[in-house]
Amino acid sequence: MKFFLDTANLEEIKKIKSIGMLDGITTNPSLISKENIYNENDVKKHYISICKLLDEGKYLSVEVISTDYHNIINEAKKLSILDPNKIVIKVPMTIDGIKSIQFFSKKKIKTNCTLIFSVGQALLAAKSGAYYISPFLGRLDDISYNGLKLIEEIKKVFFNFNFKTKILAASIRNPIHIIECAKIGIHAITTPINTIYSLFNHPMTNIGLNKFLEDYKKKIK
């Protein structure tokens, strides 16, 4: 299972890359707004900077802010040319978004259909040719719906019809989400940096390491 980092922060990207756990990046307008970027040209430069940190075969999902078909197409073309080999166009699950995904699919431009909250939405995105879909686990959990159950159901439907669309689980809130997604066997998750770091932690590991070091210091002079 691939680990995507849900961020637009260059330092966070460098940290996860340094430990060999960076398979891709997902961004959205909210994440970009945290980076103190104030104009469209600087946003594009920032995306290029992120792409430079990604190795070959790893992708950056860049979300359009347009919501109607023609503007989605125009905006996405400008974003795609920033780095055609690494940028995936992130498109919302709407009628215009689905129409756009069909257009991009014919042009061999990879897309990520975001804000997926149902199997029906996932089915429409896959039929339209989306390269990724992003179901939002945490936001479903927030309204007392089992987000992991949705992931399982989507995977079953995709298997039934041999869809090539990859499931990229989003809105990951805790390490349990990551582990359960791995058990289900989906392609990738995207998560903030702290959730990835939390996978390293276990109290027994710390206790064991401290014991080994203490014993060594007692016996080895």
* Residues taking part in catalysis: 90
Distance CA 88, CA 58 (A): 10
Q: Is 64 exposed, middle or buried (0-12, 13-18, 19+ CB in 10 A)?
A: buried
> Which tokens in the block code for residue 101?
């995904």
Distance CA 184, CA 99 (A): 30
Query: DSSP readout, 155-209?
Result: HHHHHHTT--PEEEEB---SHHHHHHHHHHT-SEEEE-HHHHHHTT--HHHHHHH
Torsion sign (Cα): 43, 44, 45, 46: positive
Distance CA 208, CA 54 (A): 35
Distance CA 197, CA 194 (A): 5
> Which tokens in the block code for residue 195?
């959730």
> Which tokens in the block code for residue 200?
């390293």
